[in-house]
Every structure is written in C-alpha cells, then in structure tokens.
Amino acid sequence: MMIAIIDYKMGNLRSVQNALSRLGATFEVTADAATIRRADHVLLPGVGNCAEAMHNLRESGLIPVIKQLRQPVLGICVGLQVMCRDSEEGAANGQLTTCMSIFDAHVRRFPDSAEFKVPHMGWNTLGNLEKKLFDGIHSGDSVYYVHSYYPTLCPDTIATTRHGLMFSAALKYEQFYATQFHPEKSGDVGERILKNFISL
C-alpha cells in the first residue's frame, strides 16, 4: 500500500513523514497527478495561509485531481481549510477566499478575546466523535492545534473542540476526511488516528 503526500509548497512535511515512518507506512511526497491518482491513500497536509495554499493548488493544477479522487483522503490543518467552501483568510475587497467546497464548512477567524488567545496553540480536547477515523479515541482525549482560523460546524462535522466557541475539529464527506489539529504532533492519540486512516 502506498500513501501519496501532496506537496503544494505549504510548510515542512517532515513531521508527517516521520509519523508515517513510525507506523511502517510506505509513502511518497509528490505533486505528480498520476502518482496521486494511483496511490491507495492520499494526505493533504499544510501549514500557513489558506489563500496562499489555494493559489498554489490552482497553479499546480491539482484541484480537479484532488476533487476526483476516490480513495481515502486526509487533509490536515490548512489541508482541511482548503477543502471547505471559503475562508476569511486572505480575503480582499470584501471577497472571501474561494476554496474547494468538498466540505460544507466555512473557515472563519477566531474573534479577539482576552480570555481565549489567538492563535489557538497547544493541546485541546476532542468531543462528539463519530466515524471510523476515531476508533479507539474517546471524548476528552487531547490533540495538538496551531491555528487562527477555524472551520465552522456543519453536517460534515465528525469531531468538535471548544476554544471560546465550538468548531469542527474534524470533517468527513464520503471518502474525504480532514482534521484541523495535527495528528502527526498529537502523540499516541494522533498516531491512532493516522493508523485508523491508513486502515480505511
């Protein structure tokens, strides 16, 4: 079984590669459409700016490739956000950044608050868990976040976290999965989630 890690120039992929290596998985970092299409599973990680990520994906020609995939796909952090409908990040002249619309969620910035810091950085708990991605994971288990923008709650939500407000910690639509948190940085819980994904 081969996992394709999509490289669209959005951050260091080393931690994802290290996590997969610990699981004994075979993977390839690639931007090649044919390699991505023939992979058994696909990872779409990312850190940084959602608008820049969408620009890179458009320039690479990978948006239609990703949307047409039929094998299990897992987006991580910005990889989740680009799979939502739109984002406030990088919005110009009142226009939101248009994303891939795989999930029915919108990406919004956390409101400034003296009580809840932005960015949301560090460990936080999961709740309202559903689906096979969270087999063996329990409400109250903690995962690691680094983000200033969050995906809204929607029918595709399969896990939640609260940071001032409740948001989608994970999403699922058909064979597409995504987490706003970083499973590759979330210790044993994150390792179990990645293992669950690989077994789909």
Which amino acids are annotated catalytic? Answer: 77, 182, 184
Do residues 63 and 28 touch, judged by C-beta distance below 8 A? no
Rg (CA), the chain: 16
Euclidean distance between CA atoms 149 and 92, whole angstroms: 16
Cis-peptide, bond into residue 119, ω within 30° of zero: yes
Q: DSSP characters for 56-111?
A: HHHHHT-HHHHHT--S-EEEETHHHHTTSSEEEEEEETTEEEE---SSS--EEEPP
At residue 148's C-alpha, the angle toward residues 145 and 149, to 5°, is: 100
Task: Categorise residue 122: left if φ over 0, alpha if ψ from -120 to 50, beta otherwise.
Answer: left
Closest alpha carbon to 9 in 47, 38, 40, 35: 47
Structure tokens at 111: 């409101």
